[in-house]
Structure 1
Amino acid sequence: MKHLVLLLFILFNSSLLLAQGTTPDSLGTVRGFCIAAPTPAEHARFLTFIEKELAPRGVNTLVLRVDYNYQFKSHPELRDPSALSPQQVKQMVQLCKKYGIELIPQINLLGHQSWANTTHNLLRVYPQFDETPHVTMPEKYEWPNADGLYCKSYCPLHPEVHGVVFSMVDEIMDAFEAKSFHAGMDEVFYIGDDKCPRCGGRDKAELFAGEITRIRNHLAQKGRRLWIWGDRLLDAKATGLGMWEASMNNTHRAVDMIPKDVVICDWHYNRAEPTAAYFTMKGFDVITCPWNKPAVATAQYEAFKDFRATANPTLAPRYRGLMQTVWSGAGNFMDIYYNTKPVTDPNQKGPIDSFVQLFQTMNSSK
C-alpha cells in the first residue's frame, strides 16, 4: 500500500511539473525586438531607447540588422560611408549585458544584396559574386518587372564569396560578443539561375539548404548558432501563403535538408498563421515575428500561449517566443515613437502600436 501511495504521489507531482513546464515564462520565453542598427549619429539616442523602453518592457533579445554599418577591419572596402565604431558597439554590448538582453547581429546573406535600384556593398564591390549579372539595375525600379527582380542574390557556389562574408561574420560576432548570428535569407527569389555557370540546372532546395548548412557549420566551429527568417522554408502553393511569406521557387523542401539547430524566425504580418507549429514538428526552435498590426501581434501571442499550454513536453519548448520586427531605420522609428517627427502616413505608426501592444499583452500575461 505504501508503495502504491508513493507511486501515485510521484505521478501526481510529475504531471504537475510537466504542466508547469509548459507555461511561457517557465520555458524561457524569447521577448524579442528586431530593428536596423542605429547610425553613428543615432547611437546615443538608441542607447537611451534600450534603457528606457526595451529593458523596462522585459525585452530579452535584440536583433540588430547591421549589414555594412560597422567599421570592418577585415574588409574596410565594404563599410558604409558612416559606420558604427567598435567603441560604439561595445557600449551597446555593455548596456545589453546590464539588462540581460541577448544582442544578436544580422548581416543579410545570400539574398537582399540590393534594394529597388541600389546595389548593396557586397555586389557593388565584388560584382563577380552576382548570381544574375545579366540583370541590370533599373534607373527607376518598379514591381513587377520583366526580370523578376526584387533583390539581387550572391552566387552560393562562387569559390571566393564565403572567404569575404565569413570574415565579416566572424568580425561582427567578436565585436558584439554574440552567441547567435542572424543571416537573414528571406525573400530569396534569385537562386539557381539558369544562366549562372555554377548554379544553373541545380536543385534550388539543395542550393538553399547547402548555403544554410555552410553558414551554420562555420558558426558552429566557435559554438555559435544560426538564426534565419523562415519564409523560404514554406510551400507557397500548398499553404496559400503567397510568394512573399513563402516560397514559389521550390526552396521549401530545404526544410528537410538543414540542421535542426537552426533557429527559425517565422514572420507573418496579416494573420496569425499556424506555421510555427509546423516548424516545431520539423524539429526546429521557432520564434513568431509580427510587424505592423497590433491585433495580429496579439493573436500571435495567444496562439503561442495556447501551443505552450497544450503541446507535449517535446514540442512545447521549441516554440520559443515572439519578436517584434521593425523595417525602418532606428532613427525614423524613434522619431515617430517619441513624436519628434510629423507622421505623414498613418501606416508609419503600425510597428510602434504593434510593439507597444505586444509587450503590454505579454507583460499582463506574466
Structure 2
Amino acid sequence: MRIKLVLIGALCVALSIPAQDVLPIRGFAIAAPKKENVDRFVKFINEELSPRQINTLILRVDYNFQYKSHPELAEDDGLSQDDVNKIVLACQDNNIDVIPQINLLGHQSWHSDLEMLLKVYPEFDETPNIQLPESYEWPNDDDLYCKSYCPLHPKVHEVVFAIMDEIVTAFQANAFHAGMDEVFYIGHKDCPRCNGKDKAELFAGELTKIRNHLALSGHKLWIWGDRLLDGKTTGMGMWEASMNNTHRAIDMIPKDIVICDWHYERMEPTAAYFALKGFDVVTSSYKKGAVALKQLAFLENIRRNSSEETAQHILGMVHTSWSSASSFLDRFYAPFDKTKQNDAVCFKILFGE
C-alpha cells in the first residue's frame, strides 16, 4: 500500500495536481448509530475517519430518527436532532460530507419483519397478497427477498418526500442516498397499478421523481447501481445486477445521479461502464481487502489513462459496512488481523493500516 501511495504522489507531482484529486472521494457507508452509541461514533469520526482523510460519510438512517413530519414512522428511541447535531459537527470539523440514506422502493422488509413504511402504511405495499413467513428462508416459492412499495401509489410520495426533506435538513446535507438496490418486486402481477407495465420504465420513473424532487432544493441523488446492470449478459446474476429487466433504465434517467457501484467478491469493470454512460461513479468494497485494492487500482488506471471526459466521472471509493455501527466498531477496535475477511479489516487495508 505504501508503494501505491508513493506512486500516486509521484504522479501528482508530475501532473502538478493534489494527491486527493486523483480519487476525489474517500468514503464510508454505515448504519447511523443508535442513540446510546452516538458519542462512541463521534469519537470514531474524530480519531479514525479524519486521520485517514475520509471525506464522505453515507449514513443509513432509515427510520432511526425522531421525524416530526411523520412521527409515526420513527423507531422507538430514534436519534434526536441533538444526537444528529453531534455527528454533523464532528463531520464539519473534519471536512466530511454527510449523506443520509433512507432505503426507497425496495428493502421495505427484512426477513420476517416489515420496515416502518409498510408497517404504518400497508396500502403502499406492491405485493399485499404475499405474506411474510414466520421463519424466513431463501429461496422461497414467492421469490420474496424484500418487499417494495408501489411507485405508482398516489399517496406514497407525499410521505416519502416529506421524510427525505426532513432528513437532509437535519443532517445539513448536500445530497441524499435513496438506496434503490436489490429491487426484486417491481411491476408485480398482483399490483393493480403496476401490473403489465415495463419494469425499466417503472424503475426509471421512480428514480426520476426522487431526483427531480431533490433538485428543487438543490440536493443531489446517490443510489446503489446494481439495478442498472444486466445480470444475464454480464453473468453477475440477480444480486449484483438485474435479472428483471430494470437495467434498461440506465438510458432513461438523468445523468446527474451518482452511482455507487458495489461488487464484493470480484473486481468487476462496471465503474467504467457507468462513466462511459455519463454518470459519476464510486466503487464500493466490503469484506475482501485484496478485492478492494484491485478495485482501487482499476479506478486509478481509468483516471490516468482515459479521456478527460471519462476520467472525471470516476470519483473514488466508498467502503461499506452492513451491520450496526456498534458491531462494526467492536470489530474495528479488535486486534488487527489481515488474514480475516470482514468489513473492519478491509477498511483498514483499503485506507492504509
| 2:180–2:224 Cα contact (<8 Å) kept | yes
What are the residue-to-residue correspondences of 1:132-147 with 2, within 5 Å? 132-147=127-142
Partner of 1:49: 44
| 1:24–1:308 Cα contact (<8 Å) kept | no
| 1:157–1:198 Cα contact (<8 Å) kept | yes
Matched residue SS, 1:214: helix
CA apart distance, 1:38: 0.1
Q: What is the rounded CA distance, in whole Å, between the counterparts of 1:273 and 1:31 in structure 2?
A: 19
Deviations 1:210-243 (A, max 9, x none): 0000000000001100000000000001101111
The one-letter code matched in structure 1 to 2:347 is F
What are the residue-to-residue correspondences of 1:219-298 with 2, within 5 Å? 219-298=214-293
Superposed structure 1 runs of 4+ greater than 2 Å apart: 19-28
Mind listing any 5+ residue stretches in structure 1 that lack a counterpart? 1-15, 362-366
What are the residue-to-residue correspondences of 1:1-366 with 2, within 5 Å? 20=15, 25-27=20-22, 29-339=24-334, 350-360=342-352
Q: What is the rounded CA distance, in whole Å, between the counterparts of 1:20 and 1:84 in structure 2?
A: 45
Q: How many residues align?
A: 340
The one-letter code matched in structure 2 to 1:296 is V
CA apart distance, 1:336: 1.8
CA apart distance, 1:23: 8.0
Structure 2 vs 1, CA of residues 24 and 200 (structure 1 numbering), >3 Å: closer, same or farther? farther
The one-letter code matched in structure 2 to 1:169 is M
The one-letter code matched in structure 2 to 1:317 is Q
**TM-score normalised by length of structure 2:** 0.93
Matched residue SS, 1:315: helix
Matched residue SS, 1:360: coil
Q: What is the rounded CA distance, in whole Å, between the counterparts of 1:219 and 1:327 in structure 2?
A: 26
**TM-score normalised by length of structure 1:** 0.90
Partner of 2:3: none
The alignment's C-alpha RMSD in Å is 1.8
Q: What is the rounded CA distance, in whole Å, between the counterparts of 2:334 and 2:20 in structure 1?
A: 33
Deviations 1:237-256 (A, max 9, x none): 11011110000000000000
| 1:23–1:305 Cα contact (<8 Å) kept | no
| 1:31–1:60 Cα contact (<8 Å) kept | yes
Partner of 1:6: none
CA apart distance, 1:21: 7.8
Mind listing any 5+ residue stretches in structure 2 that lack a counterpart? 1-10
Q: What is the rounded CA distance, in whole Å, between the counterparts of 2:309 and 2:72 in structure 1?
A: 47
The one-letter code matched in structure 2 to 1:360 is G
The one-letter code matched in structure 2 to 1:91 is K
CA apart distance, 1:194: 1.0
